[in-house]
Amino acid sequence: MTDKTVKVGEHEIGSGKPALIIAEVAQAHDGSLGMAHSFIDAIADAGADAVKFQTHIAEAESTASESFRKSSPYITESKAEFWRRTGFNAEQWQGLAEHARQRGLLFLSSPFSVEAVELLKQVGVPGWKIASGEVTNFPMLERMADTGLPILLSAGMSNWEEQDEVVGYIKGLGAPLALFQCTTAYPCPPDKVGLNLMHDLRARYDVPVGLSDHTGRVYSTLAAIAQGANMVEMHVTFSREMYGTSVEASLTLEELAEVVEGARFIEAINNNPVDKDAQAAGMANLREVFFRSVVPRRDLKAGTQLKAADLTTKKPGSGIPANRIGEVIGRTLARDVAADQLLSVEDLR
């Protein structure tokens, strides 16, 4: 574990801190401002720490020829047309950010151009989430670093050489940095999640790490928390029957609530190591109920030298412990004892 921490708003990310739970809406609102606001309320109700959108400015990001990676026989728009249809203006972004803050959520949105950085800077964000496809966009990264805000970087399409380059560049600019293990697949199968890489990132770069998950299931996120993830991110949807580029890779809002509950439960386990002896000492009453004691199989007279055939073990465990029966065999009774009577040291000589 690294001792390095990164502060995003009032949330400190690092060892021993609660994992930052980010629910990503991206373009799941499909251009509906009302739905975007509804996502904020639902995410807050689920208990997440942050809501994240994506800020695309078509003219600054896409050429007219860029195709839309999510094909549909009913929607034939280009990527630029999609960005225009689903984008919001500065006033609308401001309203979303204020709504999120009112609900106690960090407001984040991944920018995809320098122009988007400038827009979000005016709106007000506590940090920058970098999508995997933007790790080579050094002009945008430099503009982000200039703000002094922390950078949360995914690099789901990069090899180690490219990862080293972008991490070195960001560190060289002096920006606080945390890294997500991410596999760019929608949905991502379990054998491609790569939780091992989360640990490799921490060891290689000495920064807080987490998982940006695209499996569309709760398991990998909870597994990441159990393995010490400092932050987790997952796409969300109101229903998997909705249209959208990431629906198959998204959690429902009910599943998001399960992740939040599970994460805090797991953290309570991880942050409270148990002392074995102290645990046993605190269970004296249960030990008496469930453990066994040495008892005679039948009525025995004083002076009887006890043999194995004379003895057995039964509950409760308030007499001579069952695991000491060997010490009782061969001893002589100091007084008469009845069958099933818990033997005591006073009964023996």
Q: Do both 103 and 231 map to the same domain? A: yes
How confident is the model over 11-21, as a mean pLDDT? Answer: 96
How confident is the model over 10-26, as a mean pLDDT? Answer: 96
pLDDT in tens, 286-344: 999 999 999 999 999 999 999 999 999 999 999 999 999 999 999 999 999 999 999 99
- The answer to whether residue 184 scores a pLDDT higher than 70 is yes
Q: Do both 336 and 229 map to the same domain? A: no
Q: Do both 56 and 120 map to the same domain? A: yes
Choosing from 270, 286, 316, the residue where a domain stops is 270
Rounded to the nearest 10 degrees, how much is the dihedral formed by the CA atoms of 68, 74, 77, 83?
A: -70
- The answer to whether residue 205 scores a pLDDT higher than 90 is yes
Q: Do both 266 and 291 map to the same domain? A: no
How confident is the model over 74-91, as a mean pLDDT? Answer: 86
Residue 101 lies in a domain: yes
Q: Do both 236 and 330 map to the same domain? A: no
Written as one string, the DSSP assignment of 50-98 is EEEEEE--HHHH--TTPPPSS--SS----HHHHHHHH---HHHHHHHHH
In the chain, how many domains are there? 2
Residue 7 lies in a domain: no
pLDDT at 77: 79
Written as one string, the DSSP assignment of 170-187 is HHHTT--EEEEEE---SS
Angle ∠(264,108,68) on CA atoms, nearest 5: 110
Residue 289 lies in a domain: yes
Q: Do both 211 and 307 map to the same domain? A: no
Q: Do both 255 and 288 map to the same domain? A: no
pLDDT at 2: 72
**49, two tokens:** 């720490």
Q: How far is CA 166 from CA 139, 211, 246, 313, in A?
A: 12, 18, 26, 68
Given the structure tokens 């609308």, which residue do they identify?
92
pLDDT at 40: 98
- The answer to whether residue 116 scores a pLDDT higher than 60 is yes
C-alpha span between 44 and 218 (Å, rounded): 18
Residue 60 lies in a domain: yes
C-alpha span between 155 and 163 (Å, rounded): 7
Q: Do both 166 and 100 map to the same domain? A: yes
DSSP 8-state assignment for residue 190? G
C-alpha span between 82 and 76 (Å, rounded): 9
Residue 4 lies in a domain: no
Choosing from 225, 244, 270, the residue where a domain stops is 270
The domain of 230 spans: 13-270
pLDDT in tens, 124-176: 999 999 999 999 999 999 999 999 999 999 988 999 999 999 999 999 999 99
pLDDT at 78: 80
Reported as a pLDDT band with limits 50, 70 and 90, residue 346 is very high
Q: Do both 250 and 317 map to the same domain? A: no
How confident is the model over 67-92, as a mean pLDDT? Answer: 79
- The answer to whether residue 71 scores a pLDDT higher than 60 is no
Q: Are 44 and 99 in contact (CB under 8 A)?
A: no
Q: Do both 174 and 80 map to the same domain? A: yes
pLDDT at 73: 65
pLDDT at 69: 56
Residue 5 lies in a domain: no
**CATH number of the domain encompassing residue 27:** 3.20.20.70
Q: Do both 102 and 247 map to the same domain? A: yes
Residue 6 lies in a domain: no
Choosing from 247, 270, 293, the residue where a domain stops is 270
**CATH number of the domain encompassing residue 307:** 3.90.1210.10
pLDDT in tens, 27-70: 999 999 999 999 999 999 999 999 999 999 989 987 777 766 55
Give pTM, 2 decimals: 0.88
Reported as a pLDDT band with limits 50, 70 and 90, residue 105 is very high
* Closest by CA position to 55, among listed 115, 142, 98: 115
* Residue 15, number of CB atoms within 10 A of its CB: 13
Q: Do both 264 and 284 map to the same domain? A: no
Reported as a pLDDT band with limits 50, 70 and 90, residue 246 is confident
The least confident of 59-68, 187-196, 276-285 is 59-68
- The answer to whether residue 80 scores a pLDDT higher than 90 is no
Reported as a pLDDT band with limits 50, 70 and 90, residue 79 is confident
SS3 330: coil
Residue 8 lies in a domain: no
